[in-house]
A and B are shown apart, each in its own frame.
Chain A
Amino acid sequence: GQQVMQIPQYQHVQEGEDFTTYCNSSTTLSNIQWYKQRPGGHPVFLIQLVKSGEVKKQKRLTFQFGEAKKNSSLHITATQTTDVGTYFCAFPNYGGSQGNLIFGKGTKLSVKP
């Protein structure tokens, strides 16, 4: 079935360092979404990427969608302790007519102050 590989599984950084997580698919994706889940919390929608090569920014977060629409990345510049959590990518299942999303396994980010 459809799936994405999300790497790394864990990332430990010093506060102020940059962080990047990647999602890689073997098939072309119609779009990709990113979510953040704080420890003990629920996933929160961050952004959706639709176009080939698309780049979107939210303050210190930069999201990219690959030219072939098979991979995506989330980059955080100068991490802060508030960035701690697990970041998930998600994409539509079988074209998305039912709105279902398949989630990657997530990258768990810890930030040492």
Chain B
Amino acid sequence: NAGVTQTPKFRILKIGQSMTLQCTQDMNHNYMYWYRQDPGMGLKLIYYSVGAGITDKGEVPNGYNVSRSTTEDFPLRLELAAPSQTSVYFCASRVLPEGYTFGSGTRLTVV
């Protein structure tokens, strides 16, 4: 099993550009999440999904969108990138009641 795979690992965007962060898991987990991590601020939930076709907002959803067309994939879309979106983005999945399995992250810089 590859676990949770995130691509790309690094990306530099210009203000106003858009991009999609990819997340794929091969563990057949229903629950998937997107978090962002800013220095010294812990992890904040952006969006989550409890299964294919079902998504919901987390704590900091503004400026992002998600879709969940399959159990395996949970892409995060950034529209009109802003410097405030410079962060490390982690995708995670789980099967209750186990803990999260995180991907290796995407380091995004918006300039």
Contacts and interface: CB of A to CB of B under 8 A. Distances in A.
Interface of A: 9, 31, 33, 35, 41-48, 88, 93, 96, 98-106
B2 interface: no
Interface in B41-65: 41-45, 48, 50, 56, 58
A105 B41 contact: yes
B103 interface: yes
Given A99-B31, A99-B94, A101-B100, A43 B50 contact: no
Contacts of A99: 31, 33, 48, 50, 94, 96
Given A99-B94, A103-B42, A103-B43, A33 B99 contact: yes
Nearest to B105: A42
B102 A43 contact: yes
29 contacts: A31-B97, A33-B99, A35-B99, A35-B100, A42-B102, A42-B105, A43-B90, A43-B102, A45-B99, A45-B101, A47-B99, A48-B97, A48-B99, A88-B42, A93-B45, A96-B96, A98-B31, A98-B48, A98-B50, A98-B56, A99-B48, A100-B33, A100-B45, A100-B48, A102-B45, A103-B42, A104-B42, A105-B41, A106-B42
B104 interface: yes
Contact of B58 (A33, A41, A100): A100
Contacts of B97: 31, 48
A66 B58 CA distance: 28
A53 to B, nearest CB: 19
B43 A43 contact: yes
Q: List the 7 closest pairs (A to B, CB-CB), nearest first.
A: A45-B99, A99-B31, A105-B42, A42-B102, A103-B43, A103-B42, A43-B102
Given A96-B96, A99-B48, 6 more contacts: A33-B100, A45-B99, A47-B99, A93-B45, A100-B33, A100-B58
